[in-house]
A and B are shown apart, each in its own frame.
Chain A
Amino acid sequence: MHPATPRRRFANRGQRKNEAKVTRVEDASRLMARVRARETAAFEALYDGYHRLVYGIANRMLHDATAAEDVTQGVFLKIWSSPDVFSSGNFTAWIARVARNRSLDLLRSRAAHTEGELPESLPADEALEERAFASIDAAKVRDALARLPREQREPIELGFFSGITHEEIARRSGIPLGTIKTRIRSGLRRLRETLDGAVTA
């Protein structure tokens, strides 16, 4: 059984995906305001809504459940101890970036190779992104990714989840750097277009 209203919204994510997702996005900024007011129930609701995303990214990058849990704990403790670090915008994009960057730090400390921190969004776009993609769930995205031509999907996934530079991708694959750059751009566009079709108004 769950106390406090916000948590109930996440309780049926499996059945009412679209509704729950839109609610989740709208709520995150409001929940963060309540976290800034030191409300533990709001923090718990944020954890319930986003821990799978954070853990998933970390696990995918680190291939280590314990390390992924450490990243998850670190991200959420940081949210509690320094809630001013997020003030407005697309919370999903923000927390995904934090999760990736923190995982990248761990990767770097393991083996000196990676460089690429995810950049911040241009501020004007964040609200747009949020509305456009609020109702998309992970399964749909995985589906769309699987449908990308392999030559586009691979450099994108390598760059994002392995944290290696595009020069390194080119080197490892033996494909010219310019080609890699183009394929990354084409793949990202295509992914977005595929999912645009699945977005609810």
Chain B
Amino acid sequence: MIEHDDVFENLGAYAIGALNGPDAAAVRRHLDACGECRREYRELSPAVTLLATSAESCADAASGAIAAPSALLKARLMRQVRADAPAQAPAAVGMRRMRPVVWPAYAVAAACLAIALISSVYNIGLSQRIGQADAQIAALTSHANALASSSETQKQMVADLMAPDSQRFAVNGGEVVKNEGRAYVAMHSAPMPPKGKVYQAWYLRAGSKTMTPSLTFVPDRTGVAVVAIPGNAKVMEAVAVSIEPEGGSKQPTSKPAFVVKFT
């Protein structure tokens, strides 16, 4: 039958999506009725998925294949999804070297680190409305980007949080951790700030009279937030966190939730 022969010939093009609407519809209808064409289609269609797989981007840029989408995309996506989801049970963690109580939260928060940093990159964009110096914003943004995209940094963070020789300063709901030139705010039970507000970190540079604004962040639904404070912790005399409007502030507009003096 003519139609059968035509359809049979078209099966390859059909499988790869190279038929126009009416022709594709004709093939679809015919497949319902024809075993021989179904058998042929069955032979051809797995190769189409293989073809699609050939386009898969690679993590390894050196292989010459295309790069993967940015970490920013994932962070944006996960923010939307988490905002939409009901409260989740905390993820199971299989960490052997556990610090009492706080450590399980860190393992979850390590994944949030990138999100916390990245959300503050967005907030930095908003904070241009309140007139922070462009150079300061650019420096903070690029540092945050560098931190967010580096898994080495995440490993370093986890190492610092766990290291016995890190300095730890307990605060309500978490702690500030310092090791060499790196400082972190690590909250395990921080309440969600009111709508339209975020937490903002500050540090006091040695010799300065006012607090320098740093990253803004929000805890996840379990109250966990871990942020690495950009900058050299060796020149920081103190670190503070206060609640500020989304986008951050140039100076604290509220009494700090805590201030930690580095000894």
Contacts and interface: CB of A to CB of B under 8 A. Distances in A.
Contact of A167 (B20, B52, B67, B81): B20
Nearest to B32: A122
Contact of A116 (B9, B19, B51, B85): B19
A22 interface: no
B31 to A, nearest CB: 7
Contacts of A5: 92, 94
Nearest to B23: A165
A69 interface: yes
Which of B18, B49, B84 has the largest count of A CB atoms less than 10 A from its CB? B18
Given A3-B111, A39-B88, A160-B48, A115 B53 contact: no
A141 B138 CA distance: 42
A158 to B, nearest CB: 8
Q: Is the interface of B mostly helix, strand, loop or mixed?
A: helix
Interface range on chain B (Cβ under 8 Å from partner)? 35 or more
B117 interface: no
Interface in B127-175: 154-155, 158
Contacts of A41: 88, 91
Given A5-B92, A117-B17, A167-B20, A141 B66 contact: no
A51 B13 contact: no
Interface in A24-69: 38-41, 43-44, 47, 51-53, 55-57, 59-60, 65, 68-69
Interface range on chain A (Cβ under 8 Å from partner)? 35 or more
A116 B20 contact: yes
Contacts, number: 227
A185 interface: yes
A194 B68 CA distance: 27
Interface string B62-106: 010111111001101110111011101001111000000000000
A129 interface: yes
A142 interface: yes
B47 A189 contact: yes
Which of A43, A136, A167, A192 has the largest count of B CB atoms less than 10 A from its CB? A192
B240 to A, nearest CB: 27
Given A1-B154, A189-B43, A184 B16 contact: yes
Contact of A40 (B19, B42, B57, B78): B78
B188 to A, nearest CB: 14
Given A3-B107, A166-B18, A68 B53 contact: no
Interface of B: 9-21, 24, 27-28, 31, 38, 41-60, 63, 65-70, 73-74, 76-78, 80-82, 84-86, 88, 91-94, 107-108, 110-111, 154-155, 158
Ranked nearest first, the 8 interchain pairs of A and B with the lowest CB-CB distance are: A159-B18, A185-B12, A184-B12, A96-B52, A116-B17, A3-B91, A56-B57, A138-B56
